[in-house]
Amino acid sequence: MSNNGIEKQRRAVSFISGGPLAPDINGIVVFTDVPGGAEVSVEIFGLPLYSPAVNGSGPMGPLGFHIHENGTCDEGSADDPFTAAGAHWNPDNQPHGNHAGDFPNLFSNGGYSRIVFFTERFKVSDIIGKSIIIHQNPDDARTQPSGNSGKRLACGLIREIVLQ
């Protein structure tokens, strides 16, 4: 609370950086408390361009986009990076497609994506210290436990923004 009795609006930020499979990805995700939940504002650059599935290989894009349970962006293996970030954040043990950390897929428009959306699934204080992951494939919102969204391309830690 501020000194005039009005609650401060909490915010958090995640600076996204690409890993070994997509080093050009960079961007920002801003989380803002709003009545009934949180607004999520996303601006990402350097995304891989869409390519369809060919000869049994998966497509590249649209790109799965989630909050993951652990607050680490340790790259680990160059072939399968960011596994230390853990699974999708799912605090109320819901089936996939309804995890609090399930976000809309990102669409690469010439390498750029910008979206803003509302979620009633959390407030900013719930996600500080978690991570954001961008995956190579679209989240199908049904395959358990992670939507068949493929390898992890980019990661960012969620940190509180302290406003004075």
5 domain-assigned: no
Rounded Cα gap, residues 159 and 131, in angstroms: 9
Domain span holding position 100: 11-161
47 vs 163, higher pLDDT: 47
Is the whole-model pTM more than 0.75? Answer: yes
| Secondary structure E strands in 48-99 | 65-68
Q: The tokens of 9 are what?
A: 């609006």
Domain assignment present for residue 2? The answer is no
Strands (E), 35-151: 37-45, 65-68, 113-119, 131-135
CB 42 within 8 A of CB 53: no
Q: What are the tokens at 109?
A: 């428009």
Residues 45 and 109: beta-carbon distance below 8 Å: no
Quote the strand ranges of the chain, DSSP E: 11-18, 26-34, 37-45, 65-68, 113-119, 131-135, 152-161
Query: Closest Cα to residue 41, out of 116, 127, 124?
Result: 116
pLDDT in tens, 94-112: 877 788 999 999 999 999 9
Domain count of the fold of the chain: 1
Residue 68 placed within a domain:
yes
- pLDDT tens for 31-89 read 999 999 999 999 999 999 888 778 877 677 799 999 999 999 999 999 999 999 999 89
Domain containing residue 98: CATH number? 2.60.40.200
Is 18 within the bounds of a domain?
yes
Residue 1 has pLDDT above 50, yes or no: no
Q: Is 108 within the bounds of a domain?
A: yes
